[in-house]
Structure 1
Amino acid sequence: MIESWRWYGGFDRISLAEIAQTGATSIVTALHEIPYGQVWPQQTIADTRKQIAAAGFDWTVVESLPVHEAIKRGDGDLGELFANYRQSMAHLAAEGIRVICYNFMPLLDWTRTDLASPVARGGTCLRFSIPKMAAFDVYMVRRPGAEDDYTGDDLAAAKRWYDAASPADLEQLTGAIMAGLPGAYARYDADGLREALDSFAGLDRAALRQNHKRFLEEVIPTAEELGLKLAVHPDDPPRNLLGLPRIVSDADDIDWILSAVDSPANGLTLCAGSLGANPKNDVPAIAERFAGKIHFAHLRNVSKDPDGSFEEAAHLTGDTDMPALVAVLLREERRRRDEGRDDAEIVFRPDHGHELLDDAARAAHPGYPLIGRLRGLAELRGVIAGLRLGMI
């Protein structure tokens, strides 16, 4: 398995020189400064690749080449947006990049309600609280019909939290929910988010699925021609959010997407944390089922609460059996090597570490601290080494 590290380029408080000390050999990044829907210039890609190479890394995976919201909504004439996406793919392929991670989550990317929830033995983690999400949805965004998406207990807990919240608490909650948007992407306040949600009115699960299928039909043939692989990232969290459907949340969803356009280029980013936040998901079993289509892996862990809330756990102590999951990936690598493939090794990265020691002072991108992820990488490295000694 290839150890990689997510780097946010000019937006990152962690330098490539510091990342080199983690032992990771590959960088996962994107051109976060380019607005959604615009072509990624080949020269900019080349300059980024050279910067990464000069620091001693390979740029192995793009995360992400964003899908414009108009494509997710299925708005009007999308020809130019699809053409731009295909052109960006061609520029990436020309610079030797072979895997593109993307997601199809409407409007918001990964979403949390707390960016610094205390951890029992010190440090902080990302957390998703159902009561706080309900409070945001019902009392701050004031989305019509929001109450119907929560249980009575959820709403009661949301009301208690909201009534006790200070203006600073409300501002902090909004900031946390917006934090998952990458790079320079515009953030919303509660009123602005309500207006943005209006543009998705009427978009249901079936429509979003068809829009995803159309996207795949438009770009997968180009991926095949270029020797690229696309890898869809699961929903985070794996549940409908703010009334918007999410369609990459469990094994049935993944099966539908991978079957919608049957191609080796249509694959999966196996995100253990995103899938692990859904109580119905057996993450190692999902990895086993779709192993042949896993083009990239995010290895992290979560601990779930009965109400559907969850928080980021240490990489080896959450609800997912991480050694069992890694064993699946190592067996798949062995199968690919036996086939004589030159792309047998799976690129993975430690994801969403705890903020530990002086991580907080650095103020890195939420969920992406230096020391916390280094701990996760070290733990994963140990699991991989142990399994390779014959335990798989």
Structure 2
Amino acid sequence: MKMIFRWYGKNNDSVLLNHINQIPGTDGVAWALHDKQPGEVWNQPEIQETVEGIRSYGLHAEVVESVNIHEDIKLGLPSRVEYIEKYVQTIRNLASAGVKVICYNFMPVFDWIRTDLHKELEDGSTALFYENNKIQHITPEALIKKITKNPEFTMPGWEPERLDQIQTLIDQYKNITEEDLWEHLRYFLEKVIPVCEECDIRMAIHPDDPPWSVFGLPRIISSRKDLQRLVGLVDSEYNGLTLCSGALGAHPENNIPAMIHEFKDRIHFAHVRNVRRYDNGDFIETSHRAADGSVDIVKVIQAYHEIGYEGYIRPDHGRHLWGENCRPGYGLYDRALGIMYMLGIWDTLEKGGYKQ
């Protein structure tokens, strides 16, 4: 497996490239042009500048996370034709810079959703927390007001510049069913996958986080059945998955090791993190250690080893440790610990030392 680390760029991340290249076994970063809005073309000069900066630290830039999908594509509006054309141009530009995988998601309006970005754990560290009851009994408007009042409470899709658009976007989805969203995803993939085959760049969809409907919005990449349907929409190895153990692992019915075996030929990118599930539907993110959460990360890594996984993998959200001032979920320390935990399991398996 090819270990990488998510990096938000020199202007958006407390973690520096010369921190990342000191993590043993870490060869690259998952990056993006974070100043780009969904629907904008990523131009070759700005791509090349970022890629060359990453490579100057001995790291590769073969994975992009993410090239976000414009809402008009998800909504199936006539304007999606224009936005797909722009997306295709971005694919071509990224391929010319050596990018091999594009991670993306098809979640309406929001990316991942949490109710507390700094929930304290027993050891004094803090982590991302999802409270099911709070989400069930709060309106998007009320949550928006909470976010607006607290600038530290930020999530993808909830950026301050988007706040005045969110309710309008939610309203646009009132008549969009899950079947509609599936059809819009199919249309998108039928247009972009042939270009990906031509450019040798793989699309890797990220599952919904959490893996169920939130605020009444349709979500369609949440289960084994959904992944089966996704890979069948366009039967090409370039239509694949970002298999996230944390996003899928928040639902107790999702068996992550079994999914790894079933979809081994379509997993182009792997996110590994642990979550502790509660009976009431809440979950909190923990260290990567299997004993700390509800997802057995040892068995997850073992499954990747059993299939001979040679794709890209990274630690996902980490706790906030030792007073680190960082993006919520994206500090250096806990994710670096996660890498060493994963590589320790992998090295043990390579030597035949793990007995189930």
Residue 318 of structure 1, aligned match among 293, 316, 341: 293
Letter matched to residue 206 of structure 1: E
> Does the 8 Å CA contact 1:117/1:126 hold for their aligned counterparts?
yes
Residue 227 of structure 2, aligned match among 236, 249, 254: 254
- Paired with 1:230 and 1:276, the residues of 2 have a C-alpha distance of 22
SS in 2 for 1:136: coil
Q: Choose between structure 1 and 2: higher helix proportion.
A: 1
Q: Percent identity?
A: 36
Measured after TM superposition, the shift of residue 139 of structure 1 is 7.8
The answer to whether structure 1 residue 358 and structure 2 residue 320 are counterparts is no
The answer to whether structure 1 residue 76 and structure 2 residue 51 are counterparts is no
Partner of 1:387: 349
> Does the 8 Å CA contact 2:125/2:321 hold for their aligned counterparts?
yes
Partner of 1:21: 22
Residue 328 of structure 1, aligned match among 303, 307, 315: 303
SS in 2 for 1:311: strand
- Paired with 2:162 and 2:20, the residues of 1 have a C-alpha distance of 28
SS in 1 for 2:220: coil
The answer to whether structure 1 residue 180 and structure 2 residue 180 are counterparts is no
RMSD, aligned α-carbons: 2.1
Structure 2, unpaired ranges of 5+: none
Letter matched to residue 86 of structure 2: N
Residue 183 of structure 2, aligned match among 187, 210, 213: 210
Q: Deviations over 1:30-81 (max 9, x none)?
A: 1111111111101111111100001110012110111111100101232211
SS in 1 for 2:242: strand
Tell me whether 310-319 or 245-254 shows the greater mean CA deviation.
310-319
Residue 114 of structure 1, aligned match among 102, 113, 116: 116
1:138-157 pair list within 5 angstroms: 140=142
Tell me whether 381-390 or 216-225 shows the greater mean CA deviation.
381-390
- Paired with 1:257 and 1:302, the residues of 2 have a C-alpha distance of 25
- Paired with 1:226 and 1:138, the residues of 2 have a C-alpha distance of 40
Residue 243 of structure 1, aligned match among 216, 222, 230: 216
> Does the 8 Å CA contact 1:64/1:100 hold for their aligned counterparts?
yes
Measured after TM superposition, the shift of residue 303 of structure 1 is 0.8
- Paired with 2:221 and 2:22, the residues of 1 have a C-alpha distance of 35
Residue 96 of structure 1, aligned match among 95, 98, 103: 98
Q: Deviations over 1:284-325 (max 9, x none)?
A: 111111111100100001011112111102112211111111
- Paired with 2:196 and 2:146, the residues of 1 have a C-alpha distance of 47
Partner of 2:38: 36
Residue 167 of structure 2, aligned match among 169, 186, 194: 194
Partner of 1:48: 50
> Does the 8 Å CA contact 2:109/2:166 hold for their aligned counterparts?
no
Partner of 1:2: 2
Tell me whether 368-377 or 132-141 shows the greater mean CA deviation.
132-141
Distance 1:303 1:372, change over 3 A: same
- Paired with 1:175 and 1:197, the residues of 2 have a C-alpha distance of 23
The total of aligned residue pairs comes to 350
Residue 370 of structure 1, aligned match among 315, 332, 335: 332
Q: Which structure 1 residue ranges, 4+ long, deviate > 4 Å from structure 2?
A: 167-170
Structure 1, unpaired ranges of 5+: 143-166, 334-343
Using the size of structure 2 for normalisation, the TM-score is 0.93
- Paired with 1:63 and 1:25, the residues of 2 have a C-alpha distance of 16
Greater gyration radius: 1
- Paired with 1:239 and 1:41, the residues of 2 have a C-alpha distance of 35
Distance 1:230 1:138, change over 3 A: closer
Partner of 1:345: 310
